[in-house]
Amino acid sequence: MLECYFYTLEAKNAQDYLYENIQILKSYYKQVKVQSIQKKYPIFRKRYIIEHSVYSGLSENEKQKLNGQLVLTNFILKNFIKYSNFGGIGVGGILAEQYDDKKAKTFYLSFDGRYLTDLEFLGLGSELYAYCVLPNFNHCVLLGIGEDWK
C-alpha cells in the first residue's frame, strides 16, 4: 500500500518577507546613507538614490536638482491618510532614526493601491523601507515585502 503525506504550507506574508530581508535592507540603507553624505549617489534604473535624512538637509536649490530622482526612506508607519481607486494610498510616517525624538516631523508618502493590504497587515508602528520619487514622495515602492530576492 502506498502512503501519502500532506504537509500544510503557510503562504508567506509581507511580515515574513520583511523579517527575512531586514538585515539586507539595514545594510543597504546604511551604505546609501554613507554615499549620500559623500554625494556619490548610487544609481538605480538611471536615477540617483539619496537617503531621506540627507535629502532633508539639502538646500532648496540642491533639492530641486534632484527632482525625479529616488529617495530611500526608513520610516515608522504612523497613520493612513486616504485610499481611493484612483490615487492609491497616502501614509504618514517619521524617520526611524528619529523615532524617540519628541520633535520628529511627520512626512507623507503616496503608494499604489496594491500596497494597501500589506500596509494594513504590517500595521501602525511598523518599521518600513521604501523608494519614492522626488520631490513629492509619490510613486513609492515598499521594499523587502512580498517578493523573493534570492
Per-residue pLDDT reduced to its tens digit, 62-100: 999 999 999 999 999 999 877 666 678 999 999 999 998
Please, how many CA atoms are within 13 Å of residue 7, restricted to the half-sphere of its CB? Answer: 3
Q: Does any domain span residue 78? A: yes
Q: Does any domain span residue 38? A: yes
Q: Does any domain span residue 7? A: no
Q: Does any domain span residue 3? A: no
- For residue 2, the model assigns a pLDDT of 60
Q: Does any domain span residue 133? A: yes
Tally of domains within the chain: 1
DSSP state of 97: G
Q: Does any domain span residue 90? A: yes
Residue 97 is part of a domain; what is its CATH number? 2.40.50
Q: Does any domain span residue 72? A: yes
From 9-23, 24-38, 106-120, the region with the lowest mean pLDDT: 9-23
| Integer Cα distance of 51 and 74 in angstroms | 9
Q: Does any domain span residue 9? A: no
Q: Are 97 and 145 in contact (CB under 8 A)?
A: no
| Integer Cα distance of 49 and 72 in angstroms | 7
Range of the domain at 36: 14-143
Residue identified by cell 515598499 is 142
